[in-house]
Chain A
Amino acid sequence: MIRVDKVRKRYGDVVAVDDLTFEVRPGIVTGFLGPNGSGKSTTMRMIIGLDAPTSGAVTVNGKAYRRHVAPLREVGALLEARSIHPGRSARNHLISLAATTGISPARVDEVLGMVGLSEVASKRTKGFSLGMGQRLGIAAALLGDPATIILDEPTNGLDPEGILWVRHLLKRLAAQGRTVLVSSHLMAEMSLTADHLIIIGKGKMLADVSVAEFTRRSALDLVYLRSPATVRLAELLARPGVTITPVGSDRLEIGGLGSDVIGDIAAEHGLPIHELTPHQASLEEAFMDMTRDSVEYHTTNEPATVGASA
């Protein structure tokens, strides 16, 4: 259980985290979403005490992280991937961390096996790919068999197979009853992995909702339809609250009706349908709508105005 209570973090003039309050519960995967620079990493650093909040408090299992007698048993963290000395082997890296807390070398070999790095354990990490570095970071996070696991963008640099592995791993960890907080700037990734979402922008809380609730709230109900009978179908589907936008000659974009209803209506009238697709990108769009105002760096085409005053 992680509790972030009215936390504010300022770096000079920049407010990185602004009055953030939330709880991360055990047994589920909680996705921590926000555009780049929204304060996700800063919040995660504050959870394990690397940064101190300017005001407010962060506790893990009821205490500040640094007050635990065996911090690695409480929280395992993967922050920026390269938190390793490249001249040291993967195994020695983990053994040195384990030694601080009296965790046995046998446990090190166990987690190395778990992340699939046993064969390269004695190699210096200098030659590791980004993905191998991430795996080593995950191994370090699991070292103390912690009740709480926080991972900052764990799928960065992983190949599709690796991404799938992380997704299953997170669900597995949550199913074991652990508290799992995982950050991402990609809604699509989180909608597949997380059960609950904490969405922030410019350091402020934007939403603290379950994925199901977020989906329900933000569903645009858009369905793509491809058919040689778009004109006839458009007539049949037209009703109050439904928007129908023709795309080209054989496609419709339908809002306000589920794909099942559309399919049934077409079948009733014996009209052919070649494709009927609920719009999957709607979550990503809803997320981007939500965070649009809080994106750190907008792209802009406006030329810079040169100030000239007398």
Chain B
Amino acid sequence: MTASRPAPASDTDTAPAPDTAAPRRTPLTLRELVLVVVLGVVFGFLYWVFVQAWNALAIVMGPAGDISQHLVFGSWLLVAPIALAILRRPGVGVLAEMLAATIEVLFLGSPVGPLLLLSAALQGIGSELPFALTRYRRYGWGVFAASGALGASLVFAWTAYRMGWYGQDLLALRLGIQVLSGIVLGGLLAKVIVRALERTGVLSDFAIGAASAGAIPERRAR
């Protein structure tokens, strides 16, 4: 029964997802998979909550409301860098984006339909690329910012085609706002959230916790 499955930790002294320096080439554990799904779900839900507040503004802005979507676009990208920083495994960013989109298509219904999965894949690839270039070893501000910028720009080409933005006067303005939003909301904000989460201790059993924690101490007598 256990033969087909990689042992999560053969050495009993290591963390659940050990050795963050070199990502493993094994499939995600169920724990990691569920975390990715849960992150997708929660960010999907929070996005929905905050969009309720945003809608009022978009209506006031009238035709510019269409432009305003670029302003908040970055928040769509949040989940990928957060999942990557927590789990530090290749592919997790793309997967998180796609799962968030799946949740949205299957369970919430979306005006974009199943093609949202394609957009999500492009966003995920863009967001993950900078982390992949550091071989999943660096998680500084710069990498997060690059992640947001790339996540926002890669998908832009496809969305612009899908929505017929080519030939509109606003193309460059749209791209500029979207990339800026990607850097701030989809990159730097992700780093802020990850740091805050780390402080609470809920991440200590994931790769990010193992990376910052030392060895398990000798038992403390009370």
Q: Do A and B bind each other?
A: no
Interface residues of A (CB under 8 A from B): none
